[in-house]
Amino acid sequence: DAKTTQPPSMDCAEGRAANLPCNHSTISGNEYVYWYRQIHSQGPQYIIHGLKNNETNEMASLIITEDRKSSTLILPHATLRDTAVYYCIVRVAGGLRTSYDKVIFGPGTSLSVIP
């Protein structure tokens, strides 16, 4: 089962900020939060990731709560091209390890940006 839960769908007005929530209450201390998006019929695209600090890149910002049990992806000025399914996943990353985790995707959030 997926380690994350997300709302199935959201709407956002073009030009406004889109805030996509994700719950990951069972996250382990060495697991990062990753966000991907998939535009129809294309491969998923990496957006951003973080461990415990807030992160920002040219695409989005990631806000992780202090207890790390939830996070929010923020698209500051949504455009029609941001209409996609957004996936939040958690996985171990970095450092040496002897086992490899299965990357489990949930159903994601279908974001519709409205003109």
Partner 1 sequence: KAGVTQTPRYLIKTRGQQVTLSCSPISGHRSVSWYQQTPGQGLQFLFEYFSETQRNKGNFPGRFSGRQFSNSRSEMNVSTLELGDSALYLCASSFHPGQGVTGELFFGEGSRLTVL
> Which residues make up the interface to partner 1 (CB under 8 A)?
32, 34, 36, 41-46, 49, 87, 91-97, 99-108
Compute the Cα dihedral for 90, 91, 94, 95 and give only its sign. Answer: positive
Phi and psi torsions of 80, nearest 5°: -60, -30
Least separation in angstroms between residue 106's CB and partner 1 is: 7
Residue 50 near residue 44, CB atoms below 8 Å: no
Cα(68)–Cα(53) distance, integer angstroms: 9
> For residues 11 and 101, what is the distance between their CA atoms, to the nearest angstrom?
33
Nearer to partner 1, 34 or 82 (CB): 34
CB 102 to partner 1: min, Å = 5
- Residue 50: CB minimum distance to partner 1, A: 10
Nearer to partner 1, 67 or 100 (CB): 100
Name which of 5 and 14 has its Cβ closer to partner 1. Answer: 5
In the bound state with partner 1, the residue whose beta carbon lies nearer, of 15 and 107, is 107
Whose tokens are 């073009």? That residue is 14
**Residue 77 · residue 15 · CB < 8 Å:** yes
User: In whole angstroms, how close is the CB of 42 to partner 1 at the nearest point?
Assistant: 6
